[in-house]
Chain A
Amino acid sequence: NAGVMQNPRHLVRRRGQEARLRCSPMKGHSHVYWYRQLPEEGLKFMVYLQKENIIDESGMPKERFSAEFPKEGPSILRIQQVVRGDSAAYFCASSPARSSGRDHEQFFGPGTRLTVL
């Protein structure tokens, strides 16, 4: 399966716990994006990363949220001390380097549904 992989697909946490969401981009893709979708809303951009670099984190809440995309391994979205308002679907997307013709297209993973009790 050469698609974007996300795990876990479902994650339940109690208030105050930490949530770690993982994303493995498509093979050959070096750009990763995280989006959040609240119920009945569209996807909202959170952060854009390349290997070992955060390019744009303008959509990330100022506290408790962090993201990384290490040289080896998946990208991680980390939410510390989760609150009920963090309950949402979190989608990861990837794209190749900007040398391709359709460089605006992003390929999305199946998402992680986070539920905070």
Chain B
Amino acid sequence: DQQVKQNSPSLSVQEGRISILNCDYTNSMFDYFLWYKKYPAEGPTFLISISSIKDKNEDGRFTVFLNKSAKHLSLHIVPSQPGDSAVYFCAAPAGGYNKLIFGAGTRLAVHP
């Protein structure tokens, strides 16, 4: 029962271009979504979030878009930098509190 899905295990982007990471969910009760970034041998770090009452949230180079009718969200990084190379996880809180349901992650590689 995978309620949060990231169907692209990897993505390769040239430095300076846009990176688009996708996430789909099945549970229409989710009302908040988070993106975490993870480097090897480190824990995930919070990147950006969006409430279901919005369709867009922007923070510097990072923008998250939410399409509730399609149960789809995406993370845009522009311009992409080599330091953005990491695994990105989409997550949603469930169970009435802070139990996070994670997608499988997308490994982003930004090359010069």
A residues at B contact (CB < 8 Å) = 4, 6, 31, 33, 35, 40-45, 48, 55-56, 58-59, 91, 93, 95, 98, 102-111
Q: How many A-B residue pairs have CB under 8 A?
A: 68
Across the interface, name the chain A residue whose C-beta is closest to B42: A110
* B67-112 at interface with A (beta carbon < 8 Å): 89, 93, 95, 97-105
How many angstroms from the CA of A42 to the CA of B41 in the assembled complex?
14
Taking a contact as CB atoms under 8 Å apart, the answer to whether A91 and B98 are in contact is: no
Across the interface, name the chain A residue whose C-beta is closest to B101: A45
Given known contacts A4-B43, A108-B43, A98 and B102 CB-to-CB distance under 8 angstroms: no
Which residues of chain A are near B41, meaning CB under 8 Å? 110-111
Taking a contact as CB atoms under 8 Å apart, the answer to whether A107 and B98 are in contact is: no
Taking a contact as CB atoms under 8 Å apart, the answer to whether B46 and A105 are in contact is: yes
A sample of 8 cross-chain residue pairs with beta-carbon separation below 8 angstroms, ordered by A number, consists of A33-B98, A42-B104, A98-B98, A105-B49, A106-B98, A108-B45, A109-B43, A111-B42
Taking a contact as CB atoms under 8 Å apart, the answer to whether B49 and A102 are in contact is: yes
Which residues of chain A are near B98, meaning CB under 8 Å? 31, 33, 48, 95, 98, 103-104, 106
How many angstroms from the CA of A80 to the CA of B49 in the assembled complex?
37
How many angstroms from the CA of A104 to the CA of B97 in the assembled complex?
8
Which residues of chain B are near A110, meaning CB under 8 Å? 41-43
Taking a contact as CB atoms under 8 Å apart, the answer to whether B44 and A43 are in contact is: yes
Taking a contact as CB atoms under 8 Å apart, the answer to whether B99 and A33 are in contact is: yes
How many angstroms from the CA of A102 to the CA of B43 in the assembled complex?
19
